[in-house]
Amino acid sequence: MEDCVLTDETVWLSRPAEADIDAIVACCRQPSIPEWTTVPVPYRRADAVGFLTDIVAPGWAAHSPVWAVRTAADGPVVGMVGLDAGPQPGAAEIGFWLGDAVRGRGLMTRSVRLVCDFGFAADGLGLSRIEWRAFVGNVASAAVVRRTGFRYEGLLRGAGVQRGVRRDSWIAGRLAGDPPEPATDWPPLRGPGSAT
């Protein structure tokens, strides 16, 4: 598939490139990124190069695009969002991370909306379902997908592996016909430091 830029004039999503390596490394070294993702620790320049050559390039070729999140068309990478087509026809899993310096501004919510619109569009990927999974406790990620119309579907015990350790995951999904407004059927989700 050809590269495409998605924008709402607040965020710009474009294919990450070699020029983005330093920004990717800087973001992935922030403690909040490896806490909730499977990026290597410590994160090195070679990891970012491998991400571009082993994930991004083949992903675009296989209808599993990955976009760098930027706050200007020519700005530095502040996050990443992608769709992984997986084995089920017409379905993909969304994944994302955002650097600490730009959190709390709604940038990832905007990015996920753009990616879902593209994913469901007939002239995009034409998907029927987009699925989200996150390690239990990642309430920030859950809040993003909840705001963008994903419906909570449950807890998957031991379904995720993070650096060799099995972890429980939350799962949610959005179908092509689901409204993109905030979903109201989510149970209370708790993260680290939450009161019980």
Half-sphere exposure (CA, 13 Å, Cβ side) for 132?
30
Residues 13-35 have pLDDT tens digits of 999 999 999 999 999 999 999 99
- Of 8, 10, 1, 2, whose CA–CA distance to 115 is shortest? 8
Is residue 180 in some structural domain? no
Task: Tell me what pLDDT residue 86 has.
Answer: 84
- The model's pTM is 0.95
Q: 138-167: per-residue pLDDT in tens? A: 999 999 999 999 999 999 999 999 999 999
Q: Domain count of the chain?
A: 1
- Residue range of the domain that includes 68: 6-175
Question: Is residue 108 a part of any domain in this protein?
Answer: yes
Instruction: Name residue 81's amino acid.
Output: V
pLDDT at 196: 34
Q: What is the CATH number of the domain that holds 165?
A: 3.40.630.30
Answer whether residue 161 is part of any domain: yes
Give pLDDT, residue 192. Answer: 62
